[in-house]
Each structure stands twice: as structure tokens, then as C-alpha cells.
Amino acid sequence: MFKYGDWLFDIDRAVHLLEERPRAVEQTPVANWAAAYRLSLLRPDYNGPSWYPIFGPDQSHFDAEHAMGTDLDQPVIIALLEFDSGPAHLLIDGVHRMYRAMSEGLPTLPAYVLTIAETDTIREH
């Protein structure tokens, strides 16, 4: 499960949906996600003040060692949400892979992007 505010996204259901409805893999920019999730603050040598992200992991819920062993060939999963201001993307699976890609200086990672309707089916209401 991925938590965003009061919403929960069922990652197992997303994986099953992607198996049932195959699609092309897209490339997503690592730097944008690293900045949005403040991944540079999760480095083991970070010595700044404690902080709490709006979304994504904080220092107490992130395993950098595990992240460095993740499979960068496995696509991350990006949900598409609809707001009054328009659609917005949300990385719901792959934060550890994104961290590793950032640490290794990779420009992009493979990604599956769900539609708004698909995202709604995996979101717990």
C-alpha cells in the first residue's frame, strides 16, 4: 500500500491491473521525482534537521541499503490523479528504485503510467 494523505493505493492491485492491461513502458525523469520526494535528504550522511514530507518516506521509514539493491529495470508505477486544477502524477511504487537511480546519477527510469480511471480502481475509498 502507498499512502498519500488520507488515500491508500493498493500496489498489488496495480500490478495485477498492469498484467491484465499491458502497455508500453515510458521513461520518467529521476531528478523531478527526487526533488518532489526530497530523496537527497534520505542519504545516510544527511546531517540536517529532521523533516516530514508531504508524501513519500521520511528518514525513519526508509532503508537506503535496501534501495541500493533494487532492480532498476523493473518499471516504477505512476498514478494519474484528477484535481480541479487538472491531472497530476504521483509515484506510488518505486521510491527505493528512484533513490538508487538518483544516487547513481541516472537521468530516467522505466515507468508504467496508470490512467485516471485505473488509478481510481486501485485507490481505497
Fold of 2-44+62-112: 3.90.1530
pLDDT confidence of residue 58: 46
Residue 68 to residue 70: CA distance in whole angstroms: 6
pTM: 0.85
Q: For 35-73, how does the pLDDT look when each residue is reduced to its tens digit (9 = 90+)?
A: 888 887 766 665 555 544 545 554 555 677 888 999 999
Reply yes or no on whether the pLDDT at 105 is more than 80: yes
> Average pLDDT of the chain?
86
Question: In what helix (H) or strand (E) does residue 103 lie, and over which residues does it extend?
Answer: helix 95-103
DSSP code at position 57: -
Instruction: Please give the angle made by the CA atoms of 63, 108 and 7, to the nearest 5 degrees.
Output: 55
So where are the chain's domains?
2-44+62-112
Instruction: Name the β-bridge partners of 87.
Output: 82
CB 76 within 8 A of CB 39: no
The better pLDDT of the pair 38, 89 is held by 89
Give the CA count within 13 Å in the CB-facing half-sphere of 89.
15
Mean pLDDT on 9-35: 96
User: Above 80 in pLDDT, residue 24?
Assistant: yes
Q: Going by C-beta distance under 8 Å and a sequence separation of 6 or more, which residues neighbour residue 56? A: 36, 37, 38, 39, 91, 95
Q: Which of 11-25, 48-62, 73-87, 99-113 shows the lowest per-residue confidence on average (mean pLDDT)? A: 48-62
pLDDT at 112 over 50: yes
